[in-house]
């Protein structure tokens, strides 16, 4: 294990909320506004941490465990996803499956914490989240399987840098994963992170009852989720071998993440959110792109 691989964790912990800021700045400049400060996500998290938490009498320990389990799950994910060409500290063969199930664990605890409040509104959001993630997961796993098959290794740290972006399969997988990325992180066109008062929202509705430090943990872990899934995409688009001196791939990966954040901002500014009925259609389309890529590499 190299010292440089701890950069993964350190940079992730430090800079993850910054990318929310970049997305928001992009959206603001599209709309001709000044927008919130770049570091607003940090301020939000710090503000929430200083407050006290309010718990409803109907909730049990599950409600309190939700945010903690969510954060610890995404921290594990942070340890197995490579940063550019630098191998992750805990990389092992088959860690791509672990990544999918860690994200699943995180979602599961968010969902049962939402159900634990007994609010029908949150139950509705939970139901939607589970439906959409059930459709997004095949797209994610089949896409990664296609990359694994193409590169012949089963570890994210080896297969992401080895994928050549300019082959059609990888382009297909990257598009599919971009759709999954937007869905998993509850961005437009799947979900609008800014709404709190609409009946169509998905992710935000599940965390409505969390307050204070709990909500800070949720904000922080969703920023980390954005970072981790972003790294999976960036790792494929900017393949950089580990031969370089370590700052080079790290710098490339960070540039890639910034570019991704800007792209997400542009998508959010130019697209409207899809009708709820159309969302499964888009996810199935992403899944079929992944499956097509998988068929292409199977020959």
Which residues are near another protein by CB under 8 A? 166-168, 172, 280-281, 284-285, 288-289, 291-292, 295-296, 299
Q: How far is the CB of 138 from another protein (least distance, A)?
A: 11
CB nearer another protein, residue 71 or residue 146 = 146
Q: How far is the CB of 167 from another protein (least distance, A)?
A: 6
Decide: 283 and 132 in contact? Cβ < 8 Å.
Answer: yes
CA atoms of 221 and 254, how far apart (whole Å): 19
**Residue found by looking up tokens 């792209």 in the block:** 263
Q: What is the DSSP string of 41-78?
A: HHHHHHHHHTSPP---TT--HHHHHHHHHHHHHHHHHH
Structure tokens that stand for 92 in this block: 């092992």
Q: How far is the CB of 112 from another protein (least distance, A)?
A: 28
CB nearer another protein, residue 241 or residue 281 = 281
Neighbours of 90 (CB within 10 A): 17
Q: How far is the CB of 103 from another protein (least distance, A)?
A: 23
CB nearer another protein, residue 116 or residue 150 = 150
CB nearer another protein, residue 259 or residue 274 = 274
**φ, ψ (nearest 5 deg) of residue 158:** -95, -35
Q: How far is the CB of 186 from another protein (least distance, A)?
A: 21
> What does the angle CA 261 – CA 262 – CA 266 come to, to the nearest 5 degrees?
120
CB nearer another protein, residue 45 or residue 135 = 135
Decide: 129 and 110 in contact? Cβ < 8 Å.
Answer: yes
Q: What is the DSSP string of 220-243?
A: HHHHHHHHHHHHHHHHHHS---TT
CB nearer another protein, residue 30 or residue 292 = 292
Q: How far is the CB of 296 from another protein (least distance, A)?
A: 7
CB nearer another protein, residue 20 or residue 172 = 172
Q: How far is the CB of 160 from another protein (least distance, A)?
A: 19
Neighbours of 31 (CB within 10 A): 9
CA atoms of 79 and 107, how far apart (whole Å): 18
């Amino acid at each position: 294990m190299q010292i440089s691989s701890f950069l993964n964790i350190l940079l992730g912990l430090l800079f993850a909320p910054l990318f929310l800021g970049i997305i928001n700045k992009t959206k603001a400049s599209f709309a001709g506004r000044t927008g919130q400060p770049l570091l607003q996500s940090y301020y939000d998290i710090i503000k929430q941490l200083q407050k006290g938490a309010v718990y409803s009498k109907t909730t049990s320990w599950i409600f309190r465990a939700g945010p903690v389990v969510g954060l610890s799950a995404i921290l594990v994910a942070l340890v197995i996803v490579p940063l550019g060409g630098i191998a992750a500290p805990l990389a092992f063969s088959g860690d791509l499956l672990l990544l999918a199930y860690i994200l699943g664990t995180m979602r599961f605890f968010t969902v049962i914490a939402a159900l634990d409040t007994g609010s029908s509104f949150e139950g509705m959001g939970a139901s939607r989240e589970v439906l959409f993630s059930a459709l997004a997961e095949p797209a994610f796993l089949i896409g990664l399987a296609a990359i694994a098959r193409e590169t012949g290794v089963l570890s994210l740290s080896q297969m992401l840098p080895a994928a050549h972006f300019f082959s059609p399969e990888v382009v297909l997988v990257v598009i599919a994963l971009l759709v999954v990325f937007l869905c998993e992180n509850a961005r437009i066109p799947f979900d609008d992170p800014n709404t709190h008062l609409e009946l169509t929202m998905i992710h935000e509705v599940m965390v409505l009852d969390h307050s204070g430090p709990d909500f800070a943990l949720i904000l922080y872990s969703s920023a980390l989720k954005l970072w981790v899934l972003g790294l999976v995409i960036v790792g494929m688009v900017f393949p950089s071998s580990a031969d370089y001196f370590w700052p080079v791939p790290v710098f490339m990966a960070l540039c890639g993440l910034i570019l991704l954040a800007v792209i997400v901002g542009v998508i959010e500014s130019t697209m409207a959110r899809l009708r709820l009925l159309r969302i499964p259609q888009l996810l199935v389309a992403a899944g079929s792109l992944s499956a097509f890529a998988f068929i292409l590499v199977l020959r």
